[in-house]
Amino acid sequence: MADWNGIDGASTQEENELRKKYLGYRYADLDYCHAGKAALEKLHDWKFGIRIHWGIYSVLGDSRESWNLTERNDPAYRALYENIYHCWNPNGFDADQWATLFRSAGFQFFTFTTKHHDGFSLFDTATRIRRRRDHNTGNMVGCDLKYSIMETPFRRDVTRELVDAGRRAGLGVGLYYSHIDWFDSDFRLDQWNYQYDPAYTRQSDPAGYARFIARHREQLRELCSNYGKLDILSLDMAFPGFDPDFQLADGILHMEQGEACGIRRDLVETVKMIRKLQPELLIRHRGIDPYGDYQTPERVVPSLEDPEDKSSVPLPWKVIYPGSRHFSYQRDDEYKPVSWIINNLMDIISKGGAFQLGYGPDGNGVWDGRCVDRMLAVGRWLKVNGEAVYGTRACARYNDGDSIRYTKSKDGKTVYAAVLNWKLDGKQVILEHLELLNEVKITVLGLPDQVKWERRCDAVVLFVPENFQYRIPVMPETFVFKISGATVRG
């Protein structure tokens, strides 16, 4: 691969090292620099965050975010949806209460939806929409709207309030922004858009195309200029010429070559603007291909049963998964149990990823009690066991069978073995891939006792402390051994 040819020597060396490690980075322009090692280390230290979907769809509570706009071929529904903002007044929103809840849940960072696919901005944008769809006639009509939270009765920049509250609470700050926009008719070029026009190009409508590029770029400039230093920018969806899932097959990047609308060079220029404004910003890969810093397996946890060479994985990753059936608030939703959250957290971080749990408040900005109960329960577990989560790194092997997940301290001196779905009448745990070195000390997080152990052939047997299930502070069915003086065999 060609070396990155940036100006700064240290940055050049770092970018070259990252491109050697992450296959997905290698296809960016040679004058482009990713966020860098320090930004990635921060994500690897945080491990656990919340992904917040909130918007007009939360008022209706009947759709998976704004997808009903395109999945329901119903002009009357679209007209209703797109006029709700005139009376939206979410007086239950309290950014500091949200941030306090997140800290109590053990989250280290958050990502907030500043604009979903419906095009409604939950931040104070100065951009204007000049054309929209009239759902009575089906025609495009002229308009002059921000279509934002600042045009509601609420008239408060909720993005700013949450960013400021998150910083006060010591949380990492992430903003979500969808490339596509189903309200602004100048954006009518993505395949999911109910206004989609395959004939729309730079040549067919030069004025509309120019407005589209300018507004998309300006909104991203606003987010990256007006809210201080950001940690994460979670871009979503993709325009023609970009792969929304950034497919890498056989070590080769497969980009769409058909750029009928000529958009790729415009988006690359926009990404380079973002990078200049926020050099250490971790940008999700969606819609920008190799210019992104990380990828997000969605509703799935990667399997490493047949791992590839870790020196050439496509991109760093974090899993995004809703804590219910939806990322956003639904009146009749079903919430996953606390054990599911904790087990997935340990599974994901043992494999070298991070975990972002998806929840959303209702239309008034209030969190469902079932959601709050689960967040606080996870927080109580992390208060005892967070040492095995935050700031840890993956071991040479992530598991011992189905029920053991390994992590280790950054200095490699301590191994953590998380026991998932423990049968409370069990007396011993067998670790076949743990190798004891010297000056071994083993405890259970939350208990003072040293754990008795013995070698058995190539395995290590740990004996669960007496009356363990009655003495452990939280959730005895999922607990963690802390093991000093050991390593994990690959």
Residues 228 and 102 in one domain: yes
Q: 306 in a domain, yes or no?
A: yes
**Per-residue pLDDT at 141:** 97
Mean pLDDT of 250-259: 42
Nearest to 298 by CA among 101, 65, 41: 65
Query: What CATH number does residue 450 fall under?
Result: 2.60.40.1180
Residues 416 and 371 in one domain: no
Question: How far is residue 80's CA from residue 89's CA, in Å, rounded to a whole number?
Answer: 16
Q: 393 in a domain, yes or no?
A: no
**132 contact partners, CB below 8 Å, separation of at least 6:** 82, 140, 141, 143, 145, 183, 184, 185
Q: 4 in a domain, yes or no?
A: no
Share of the chain above pLDDT 90, in %: 83
Residues 484 and 335 in one domain: no
Residues 178 and 130 in one domain: yes
Question: How far is residue 430's CA from residue 464's CA, in Å, rounded to a whole number?
Answer: 11
Mean pLDDT of 371-386: 98
Question: How far is residue 189's CA from residue 8's CA, in Å, rounded to a whole number?
Answer: 38
Q: Which of 353, 388, 423 is the last residue of a domain?
A: 388
**Per-residue pLDDT at 248:** 45
**Per-residue pLDDT at 282:** 98
Q: 3 in a domain, yes or no?
A: no
**Per-residue pLDDT at 305:** 61
Q: Which of 365, 388, 411 is the last residue of a domain?
A: 388
pLDDT digits (tens, 9 = 90+) for 100-110: 999 999 999 99
Question: How far is residue 372's CA from residue 310's CA, in Å, rounded to a whole number?
Answer: 37
Query: In Å, how far are 78, 134, 183, 188 from 131, measured between CA atoms?
Result: 16, 10, 9, 11
> 163-172, 174-183, 406-415, 462-471: lowest mean pLDDT where?
462-471
Question: How far is residue 219's CA from residue 239's CA, in Å, rounded to a whole number?
Answer: 16
pLDDT digits (tens, 9 = 90+) for 7-50: 444 578 899 999 999 988 988 999 999 999 999 999 999 999 99
| Domain that includes residue 416, residue range | 399-488
Written as one letter, the residue type at 106 is G
Q: What is the pTM of this model?
A: 0.93
Query: What CATH number does residue 224 fall under?
Result: 3.20.20.80
Residues 178 and 209 in one domain: yes
Q: 2 in a domain, yes or no?
A: no
Residues 59 and 128 in one domain: yes
Q: pLDDT-derived band of residue 112, with 50, 70 and 90 as boundaries?
A: very high
What is the number of structural domains in the chain? 2
